[in-house]
Amino acid sequence: MEFFLRAQFLIPLISVLALFPLSESNNNQFCDATNIYGDSECNVMSSVSSKILIKGGTVVNAHHKEVADVYIEDGTIVAVQPNIKVGDDIKVIDATGKFVMPGGIDPHTHLAMEFMGSETIDDFFSGQAAALAGGTTMHIDFVIPVDGSLSAGYEAYVEKAKRSCMDYGFHMAITKWNETVSEEMEIMVKEKGINSFKFFLAYKGSFMVNDELLMEGLKKCKSLGALAMVHAENGDAVFEGQKRMIELGITGPEGHALSRPPVLEGEATARAIRLASFVNTPLYVVHVMSIDAMEEIARARKSGQRVVGEPVVSGLLLNDSVLWDPDFHFAARYVMSPPIRAAGHGTALQAALAAGVLQELITVPSTQLRKP
């Protein structure tokens, strides 16, 4: 992902999506989800050659890059080497001047998410189709409990994901705590394959958990061998900041950022890190947007604590000037939590990603909300 960042997403890229064939049940997902494809397009998967040679591209992996050919049979990479010779019956893709690399995995998405009376526009079909077009071949979405029930939330997201056209996985959000939730976490890990749980320290009155609940969740994650994740903003202080902005009449997108400054992200990050250290369990800090949070993660990692930090593409490449645009609808497109920060934060986060202080790169797609 660092390679993408340095090239600012402008590199010529060949997406070798044919290397990852859909399961038989998903062969016609594009046709089932829309009415714009004819029968010939719907059956294209069955007619694609099972033997493919991607020729002359620059093959990139985690360790190096080299000009080579990639030969695939039945969806499996058989050989990667220069000047592979094949017969006339083999489909050849000329990748000269392009990069050939593994499909990306986006570990943080919100598709078909219902939140505060609205729902994201992108569902599991449209969001995944956009991802595939850009070379991302898997993502991990967040299951939101239904009235606190993990099982009901899981079933709801399984239903939403029936429109999928690519591989996906699930994290699980924890928004309340009782013995039933504790038992359901165990079911999610042992029976449903979910081994990461997210705790929101923000969104007071909605998803926010207090320190007592977070402690219980951290202990349960440790006992299950699961990964605890946190959205790190001080929800109580943000709530006060929001009231202050309303009193001052600052109710546009710029008020969103002013109500939740970097110091509140840093405080919540530090608190979560220290509680995870107290419990002695790993911690994953989602969408790191500020120097304040990044420095807390760097300090913890330097001390040997198991902490992972994930920056967001928008936080690396943009600054908060977009939130002050006089066109409300334009500025509103850039509202997210934690918010895009002032100039300087993105540059520091880029350096932290390059140095390994931060480890993941995500998109958090959450297209303009609509009423459900």
Domain with CATH 3.20.20.140 in the chain: 104-370
- CATH 2.30.40 in the chain, residues? 2-100
pTM given for the model: 0.81
Residues in contact with 260: Cβ distance below 8 Å, sequence separation at least 6, in sequence order:
202, 233, 238, 241, 337, 338, 339
Spatial CB neighbours of 7, under 8 Å, sequence gap ≥ 6: none
What integer pLDDT is reported at residue 114 of this predicted model?
82
pLDDT tens-digit profile of 291-338? 999 999 999 999 999 999 999 999 999 999 999 999 999 999 999 999
- Does the domain spanning 2-100 belong to CATH 2.30.40? yes
pLDDT in tens, 98-145: 999 988 999 999 998 887 677 788 899 999 999 999 889 999 999 999
Show contacts of 32-36: CB within 8 Å, 24+ apart: 32/163, 33/125, 33/163, 33/165, 34/125
Q: pLDDT tens across 4-45, in order?
A: 322 222 233 333 333 333 333 343 344 444 443 333 333 334
160 and 124 in contact (C-beta within 8 Å)?
yes
State the Cα–Cα distance between residues 108 and 261, nearest whole angstrom.
23
pLDDT tens, residue by residue, 205-241:
999 999 999 999 999 999 999 999 999 999 999 999 9
Confidence of residue 263 (pLDDT cuts 50, 70, 90): very high
Tell me what pLDDT residue 366 has: 56
- Is 3.10.450.40 the CATH number for 104-370? no
